[in-house]
Structure formats: structure tokens, C-alpha cells
Amino acid sequence: MAFRAPLRSMATTARRSLRIGLVPADGIGREVIPAAKKALEAVGSDIPKLEFHDLLAGFELFTRTGTALPDETIRILREESDCALFGAVSSPSRKVAGYSSPIVALRKELDLYANIRPVKSVGANPGGKPVDLVVVRENTECLYVKQETIVPSETGREARATRLITERASRRIGKMAFEIALQRARKQVTIIHKSNVLSVTDGLFRETIRAVPRLPEVGGKYDNVRLEEQIVDSAVYRLFREPEIYDVMVAPNLYGDILSDAAAALVGSLGLVPSINAGEHFVMGEPVHGSAPDIEGKGIANPLAAIRSAALMLRHLGYQKGGDRIDAAVNQVIEEGEVLTPDLGGRSSTDEVVEAVLKKI
């Protein structure tokens, strides 16, 4: 899926092993991350020998220990891991004193500034139109800096949130989007913003990305990439009406989160959509779906998004052949349509889908 070559290849001929941190976290994360692990192990000689670190994080861990992201998890990821796979987190919708989302914290701790979410239909698309796009989401700023306060007023309490958009973060996510577009056939980047209303914050995001092709260090590299832009509400409308008009969509954190989940509806299920959180020196695969507490423990969670996230992680690291083998196997299982979980209209269990993928690999 998505781009066909690593953005920044971290693979080296001298590497003897690939050290992978596994962070299942909450809910069905504990069911789909083992599935991704099995897919990686099945690839064999196309990737280095694998070493796994089983690591803790999550809201359920917080309820037991008072810590959602242990220092030891961060240390092992930084010092003893080359990459990681993260499952899902059950962050509550209400405020819980002392709790902060571990996935948001990991993105900041490891400077994983780009969340790359490819959405591509395979076979007969339930949405009716072919979809092949990548949402490139800035991963460290926007409202997700979580600077919120409640202040008293004459009419009752007021809740306020700080929205942070910086030129530095906008520039590097813009470069990421252009690099991915270079590797795709259509070579188009669409900036998603709301600068007609948020003229300062979204205005800076828009202006900074529009300037990326003219940066001195770029040297005309992106001259063949077509640059478009779309107001975010209009972008959602057109995403459902005309998904074929999009290639690479680059967006601030919140918009990118919403758009990628919406795009998943066009291909049948959140259980199909992978992502990676990428920085300069580390990459972490993460299925787009959440912890799905309603199906936890029932053995019917769709493992394909996690397996695809493992493939995307391999490709970003430079192990193209290994990633392609996993993706090809997943696509064959979807196209045949005989072994699918209930979210895709099937009756198969998680384990049955995993076994089907492993046989194809």
C-alpha cells in the first residue's frame, strides 16, 4: 500500500537483527499485535533476524498502576529498539486525573512527527469508487498539545484550549508529503486547512507548505508535484463524493485524524487501514482502529490493519520486499473474500484470518 519505497531508508547491509518493540496496550490491541508479529516472522529471509521486546502502556495499565506509559517502555524503545508496533489505547472521553494518552506521549517522546495513513481499496470497493490516497498528518501539534483550562466567567465556566501550529513542524510535514507524492504515480499534494476562518494558525500551516517547493535546499526536486488545497469541511464532502480526486492529503493533527477515519469508511472498515508514526530515526506502526471494547476477547477483531502496519513499517525501514510480500498476502485474502472477519461481512475469527494471511505469505 501507499508509497513503494522508504522515505528515509534506515536499512543497512551490516544490520544483523531488527529489534521491534511490541506495545499491544488496550483492548483488541492485545489480539492484533500478536497477529502482526506472526506476519513479520513469516517473511523470513527477506528481512533481518527479528528480536522482540514486549512492552507495557495503556489506560488499563494506568488503572492498575497509576502509570499509562512507564519510563522503562520509553527507555527500551529509545535505546534497544529499531522500530515498534503499537496496538490501541482506551483513552476515556472524560477527564481522568493524572492520565494522558500514551500514544500521544510516545509520538512526542520519540519525535514521530508524521502519521502516514494510506487508504486503498482492494477488489470490489463497497464505496463504489476506487480509493488510493495517503493522509499525511502532522503528529505533534494542533489541539493535541493538550493545553486546556477551565476558567470562571459571569455566565458559567469557560473551557479554553491552546492550538499550536509552528513553521518548523509545518515545513517538515510538508516535505514528508512532497516526498511521498514523488513516489506515487499522480504526484499530487493537497493541503487541507481552514484558513478562511483560522487565518493565523491554519494560515501559517498553508503558507509554510506552499513554500516548501521553493526552499533553497529543495532545489526544484518537487517541480513535478502538483499542489492543490482544500478547505477541510469541503474536503470531507468531496472525499465521500469524489475520493478519486485525492492523492496525498497533508493536514494538521486534528483534521488528519478525522479525515483518515472518514476515508476508512470508503474501503469498508477501520480494520483495514494501517499507519506509521515516523520521525527522522524511528518508526512505529499503528493500526488506525481503536481498542474496540465491544468486541474485545470475542476473537473476531480484524487483524489486517495491524498486519498492514507491520508491512508499512518494513517498507519505511527499507525492507521493500518483505513489506510487499505481506501486503500481497493481505490483498489476496481480501480479494478472495472467503476468510473475513464480521466487520467485512464475513464469519471468520481473528485466528482464521491470520492463518489465511500466513499461508499466502
* Catalytically annotated residues: 144, 194, 233, 257, 261
Residues in the chain: 361
- Rounded Cα distance between 294 and 296, Å, is 6
First-residue to last-residue Cα distance in the chain: 16
Rg (CA), the chain: 20
- Rounded Cα distance between 238 and 230, Å, is 10
> 142: which strand partners?
164
Q: Which of 137, 119, 136 is nearest to 266 (CA)?
A: 119
Q: Where are the alpha helices (DSSP H) in the chain?
A: 29-43, 59-65, 71-80, 102-109, 167-182, 201-211, 232-241, 253-265, 304-317, 320-336, 350-360
Q: What does DSSP assign to residue 50?
A: E
Q: Is residue 128 a contact partner of residue 287, using CB atoms and an 8 Å limit?
A: no
Indicate the helix (H) or strand (E) that contains 135.
strand 132-138
- Rounded Cα distance between 169 and 52, Å, is 31
> 117: which strand partners?
135
- Rounded Cα distance between 67 and 56, Å, is 10
- Rounded Cα distance between 250 and 213, Å, is 14
